[in-house]
Amino acid sequence: MPDFAFATCLPGVEPAIKLEIELNRPDLKFAFSRPGLLTFKSTQEITPADPPGSVFARVWGRSIGTVVDPSAVAAEIAALGATRVHAFSRDLEIPADVARWQAIGPGGAAQDGELVADLIVPQGAATEEATWLGLHRHDPSRPPHAGGTFGVVVPPDAPSRAFAKIEEAIAWARIPMAAGQVALEIGAAPGGAVLALARRGLTVWGVDTGELAPNVLALPNVHHLAKKVGAVRWEELPPRVDWLLVDVNLAPQVALHEIARLMPKLRPTLRGAVITLKMNDWSFVAELPKLVARIRELGLPDVRLRHLPSNRREVCAVALPGVS
């Protein structure tokens, strides 16, 4: 019997995962897909610790197959050695009947090294379809919660989902942002991420021609530079910037070009950057290595990419100085 790998993802980004696998994993051949789930047949052994083959995968691991006999699945999971059960809707935004599966074993956040059984449950109109069983071994690079999520709760006064984007990035890459530090966000309006960082006690400078939401702008540790990034002069920036956030709706190459102009001023104090790379079409996937190289050239060599749960047609890049 050949081994199979599985990936879950935001429904609609399956083509991006297929392309990335074609480019990077010659051992894998596409086998099966439904919105939010793909499987790949492997020429080699696929262990639950198999490194994710795509930055677009929310959960990646060894595919066991469809659940044929629901009454036997608890015993099957125990025999596989999983100590945690993550049952989740194949489309995280549409509820599925996960309760019956959650009763099988402990849910909640996986610990580093723990073997997790993933039960990927069809949702909404797809409820007649099969539930899939997979296995992954949790490690610090993977999201700890069911479905590849981080357990971020967006407060009702957040003006945009970018609140979740930055909190997910911080949780995933364990970014050491701390009260008293200074963040600069390019593309800050209406201010979801600014609010998240201001709540963490950072001083936040937002560059955007658009308005920040009144509740965000009113905070004493928030400053707005109401101009395009291309018009920002070095003297207008705060004397020290610890963290750079980039969330402009510009093509990634254009956004990175604008950032490069500011880097000589920022680099001496910069601890890292969180850059949202906007994806116009699937050709973006083939460009990812070039974009990573471009970010490294900014002076931040440790670059990681992930399609975060709150990302849509975009990918999050976290860039850190790395060990020197």
Ligand X SMILES: C[S@@+](CC[C@H](N)C(=O)[O-])C[C@H]1O[C@@H](n2cnc3c(N)ncnc32)[C@H](O)[C@@H]1O
Q: Which residues bind ligand X (CB under 6 A)?
A: 160, 162, 185-193, 207-210, 228-230, 247-250
| Distance separating alpha carbons of residues 121 and 130, to the nearest angstrom | 7
Structure tokens at 60: 């990646």
Compare residues 20 and 258 and give the one whose CB is closer to ligand X: 258
| Distance separating alpha carbons of residues 195 and 134, to the nearest angstrom | 37
Residue nearest to ligand X (CB): 162
Shortest reach from residue 186's CB to ligand X, in Å: 6
Shortest reach from residue 20's CB to ligand X, in Å: 24
Structure tokens at 2: 């050949």
Compare residues 146 and 207 and give the one whose CB is closer to ligand X: 207
Compare residues 84 and 294 and give the one whose CB is closer to ligand X: 294
Which distant-in-sequence residues (6+ apart) come within 8 Å of 123 by Cβ? 89, 90, 91, 94, 95, 96
Taking alpha carbons only, the member of 56, 320, 301, 48 closest to residue 173 is 320
Which distant-in-sequence residues (6+ apart) come within 8 Å of 263 by Cβ? 298, 299
| Distance separating alpha carbons of residues 4 and 95, to the nearest angstrom | 27
Shortest reach from residue 95's CB to ligand X, in Å: 26
Compare residues 128 and 235 and give the one whose CB is closer to ligand X: 235
| Distance separating alpha carbons of residues 214 and 20, to the nearest angstrom | 41
284-296 vs 252-266: helix crossing angle, rounded to 10: 10
63-77 in b/e form (b: 16+ CB < 10 A) is bbeebeeeeebeebb
Tell the residue number behind the tokens 């920036």, with chain if given: 237
Shortest reach from residue 318's CB to ligand X, in Å: 15
Compare residues 149 and 160 and give the one whose CB is closer to ligand X: 160
Compare residues 228 and 304 and give the one whose CB is closer to ligand X: 228
Compare residues 5 and 248 and give the one whose CB is closer to ligand X: 248
Shortest reach from residue 258's CB to ligand X, in Å: 7
Shortest reach from residue 282's CB to ligand X, in Å: 20
**Vertex 140 angle, CA 134 and 141, to 5°:** 70
Shortest reach from residue 81's CB to ligand X, in Å: 42
Phi, psi of 124 (to 5 degrees): 50, -125
Taking alpha carbons only, the member of 45, 47, 18 closest to residue 31 is 18
* Length of the chain, in residues: 324
Compare residues 160 and 203 and give the one whose CB is closer to ligand X: 160
| Distance separating alpha carbons of residues 284 and 291, to the nearest angstrom | 9
Shortest reach from residue 214's CB to ligand X, in Å: 14
Shortest reach from residue 166's CB to ligand X, in Å: 7
Compare residues 82 and 204 and give the one whose CB is closer to ligand X: 204
